[in-house]
Structure 1
Amino acid sequence: MSEPAKTAITPSTHSAPPARFSHGVRKGNILQVAGQVGFLPAVEGEPPTPAGPTLREQTLQTLANVQAVLEAGGASWEDVVMIRVYLTDTGHFAEFNELYNAFFAGLEEAAAARTTVYVGLPAGLLVEIDALAVLG
């Protein structure tokens, strides 16, 4: 029996990554979404632009970017089993949790497992999120 192919996932809203990696990779029923940040949808020939300077603007756009990769890979938030959150400031934890809880309030399935760590990101970026989904 042959193993399922590994397929790179790049939504139409995303520009090519700046290094040799994929926005998402699907193999069989596993979809790994690479770390996404709060860049607005790509505009041909223009550099990526953050959704805004606030944690709220960047978090909502980051979640939208993760969702775009999930959907392009045939998944939804209901399929996500693990989410990793990378924040640049420990002072953002409470605000991030409020935004996160509101975003996922309508999910019917059990909430995904989550890890939150504090990191350095490129200047102006406040949050990065990746996700692991297991489909049907």
Structure 2
Amino acid sequence: MKLERVVTTPDNYAPFLLSQGIKFGNLLFVSGQAGAGEDGQIVAGGFRAQGEQAFANLRRALEAGGSSLEDVIKVTIFVTDMGNFKDVVELRRQFFTAPYPADTIAEVKALYNADVMIEIEAIAAVRTAGDA
């Protein structure tokens, strides 16, 4: 099997020499998605607005790789303040459905930009025509 790069338009990741995601067989590995809009700038409005944009970006990367939020197996959510944990749970409720994916939520000192409060990476299944 060969690796297949997932590309979205716009691709804010290209200047950093990394892929939005990599497909390998029926698995899709999506790079961390933050609350950046199409212009690459972090959205205004605080943690919840960034979280909604990060999940929207995750959805876009998953779909570009032939998957969806419903096919996410595992997510890792990085936050810069665990005080936002309740919002993370609400975001998961808004964007995922049962059975919910396996999850790790970790507080980190900083992300790639001082304004970024949340980043989400995922592993998802890529369904084929015969999959139920």
Question: Shorter-normalised TM-score: what interval?
Answer: 0.7 to 0.9
The answer to whether structure 1 residue 103 and structure 2 residue 95 are counterparts is yes
Gapped runs of 5+ residues in structure 1? 43-47
The answer to whether structure 1 residue 36 and structure 2 residue 33 are counterparts is yes
**TM-score, normalized by length of structure 1?**
0.85
Report percent identity of matched pairs.
33
2:22–2:29 Cα contact (<8 Å) kept: yes
TM superposition outliers: structure 1 runs of 4+ over 4 Å = none
Q: Deviations over 1:13-47 (max 9, x none)?
A: 332334221110001111000001110013xxxxx
Aligned partner of 2:68 in structure 1 is 76
Cα RMSD (Å) of the superposition?
A: 1.4
Deviation of the 1:134 alpha carbon: 1.7
Matched pairs, number = 125
Deviation of the 1:53 alpha carbon: 4.0
Aligned partner of 1:6 in structure 2 is 3
Aligned partner of 2:115 in structure 1 is 124
Gapped runs of 5+ residues in structure 2? 128-132
Aligned match for 2:12, one of 11, 15, 25: 15
Q: Give, as a single letter, the amino acid of the residue that structure 2 aligns with 1:87.
A: V
Deviation of the 1:75 alpha carbon: 0.4
1:38–1:62 Cα contact (<8 Å) kept: yes
Q: Give, as a single letter, the amino acid of the residue that structure 1 aligns with 2:121.
A: D
Deviation of the 1:50 alpha carbon: 0.8
**TM-score, normalized by length of structure 2?**
0.87
Judged with a 3 Å threshold, the aligned counterparts in structure 2 of structure 1 residues 18 and 6 are, in CA distance, closer, same or farther, namely same
Aligned partner of 1:50 in structure 2 is 42
The 1-side partners of 2:56 and 2:38 are apart by 10
The 1-side partners of 2:115 and 2:65 are apart by 29
